[in-house]
Amino acid sequence: MNISRESVLEYHLGGKVGLRMTKQLKGLEALCRAYTPGVAIPVKEIHADRQNLYNYTSKGNLVAVVSDGTAILGLGDLGAEASIPVMEGKAVLFKAFGDVDGWPVPVNHCRIGGGNTGKTDPQRVIDATCAIAPMYGGINLEDIAAPACFEIEDKLDELLDIPVFHDDQWGTAVITLAGVMNYCKLSGRKIGDIRMVVNGAGAAGIRITEMIKAAGGRNIMLCDSKGVVKLSRKDLNSQKMLHAVDTKANTVGEALKGANVFIGVSVANCIKPEEVAAMDNYPAIFAMSNPDPEIRPEHVAQVMGSKPYVMATGRSDYPNQINNVLGFPFLFRGALDVRARTINLEMKQAASKALADLASQPVPDYVKAIYPDQTLSFGNGYIIPKPFDMRLFVEVSYAVAEAAVKSGAAKAVDLKQYRLDLEKRNATREKVVS
């Protein structure tokens, strides 16, 4: 889809988010309830029992979208202020798809040395986020460069009693795992038997590798800009070392020989058609670099001819878009609704399974109407649901909440009633379609 620079800037005039009052303020009585003297009553209730924060404030449906601007999209380190349009955009997606109130929280002076340039100082981001946490029911970390992002998420998850989720790490991993699950169904292979190559060893690549291993994947080669992450290398950080393998392969092309699945979260045009041709029969190629994939779908189609294969990208103008919006709004929806203390691995895996299962169901006509040039039925060209499928709100949110309760991340709730509540809420939501 081609959109002009002028239309984008016009769309962003005045920003994309603002205050929405949930209660009307009309007349003297309402004023007295909203502020003094009435407001003193919920203040005392919260002081007496901290859990009343969820009853008498916006905390239970409010997520902070926190960034220091060190890894904005594919643009790199442009700073916290330049990150704001992206964080506002994330807040829009939170509300439109998950009915979650997201709010941008750009953090300055969180670099080593305290300035606004240079590498991220993890402790400064941790301190800043802990300081604003009382207002929020969840923390969505965004566009924070690796490897600092790993320490920041892990430490915040340990310190805070609300869900902390770095979407750049886990969002792509959740959706990718769903796609791999459905590739396995279509190809008749088990996830433990397939050989995978993950190209890109930053936040997304590391977590994709972890998610697939947790789901039973055993044969994965991780590659970075210097080639295969192997035990003989002396330049690996602690995250990469966890996934280093003993192999004779040095390059991503060598690693792809005979592989079943390629997963790219790296750079454009780094995979050659002949390298795809050297993969095993019925391969899956997840080329997710944006805006230009590791290898274009047209080039894969050319080299594969009539042979069966699965092709996925990060773009909305091709089939099988691995889009984070399929995950984070509903991961937080389910987590917030049951007041989960964390978003653990079980909840992420549940989200992946719910996405995979939904893709095998008949697609509603209103979704088909948005994609008239695509065949939306389970198969090689449709392994993952579309973002505009309203059923995501119920299916993924419920799966996450159920996993939270069963894994002990949240207290017991009536899950049957919760699903009914989700379905009722979903029936009154406006479809996010044009």
pLDDT digits (tens, 9 = 90+) for 151-162: 999 999 999 999
Identify the CA nearest to 138 among candidates 424, 425, 404, 429: 404
Sequence-ordered list of residues with C-beta below 8 angstroms from that of 401, at least 6 positions apart, any chain? 334, 335, 337, 338, 340, 410, 413, 415, 418
Residue 402 in 3-state DSSP? helix
| Active site residues per annotation | 35, 90
* Share above pLDDT 90 across residues of the chain, in percent, rounded to a whole number: 81
pLDDT in tens, 197-213: 999 998 889 999 999 99
The whole-angstrom separation of Cα 295 and Cα 300 is 7
Is the CB of residue 278 less than 8 Å from the CB of residue 257?
yes
pLDDT digits over 51-101, tens only? 999 999 999 999 999 999 998 887 889 999 999 999 999 999 999 999 999
Instruction: Give CA 53 to chain center in angstroms.
Output: 27
Residue 146 pLDDT level (bands cut at 50, 70, 90): confident
- Cα dihedral sign, 9-11-268-146: positive
Looking at the domain 5-22+58-162, which fold is it?
A: Rossmann fold (3.40.50)
Alpha-carbon span 222 to 199, nearest angstrom: 6
Lowest-pLDDT range, 3-12, 143-152, 347-356?
A: 3-12
C-alpha R_g of the chain: 22
The CATH class given to the 324-428 domain equals alpha beta
Q: Where do the CATH 3.40.50.720 domains begin and end in the chain? A: 170-313, 324-428
Mean pLDDT of 308-323: 92
**pLDDT of residue 1 exceeding 70:** no
Q: Where in the chain is the domain with CATH 3.40.50.10380?
A: 5-22+58-162
**Tokens at residue 133, please?**
């946490």
Rounded to the nearest integer, the mean pLDDT of the chain is: 93
Average the pLDDT over each of 17-26, 92-101, 150-159, 347-356 and give the range with the smallest value.
17-26
Please check whether residue 236 is in contact with residue 229, taking contact to mean a CB–CB distance below 8 angstroms.
yes
pLDDT digits (tens, 9 = 90+) for 357-398: 999 999 999 999 999 888 899 999 999 999 999 999 999 999
Longest Cα pair distance anywhere in the chain, in angstroms? Answer: 77
Task: Return the CATH superfamily for domain 170-313.
Answer: NAD(P)-binding Rossmann-like Domain (3.40.50.720)
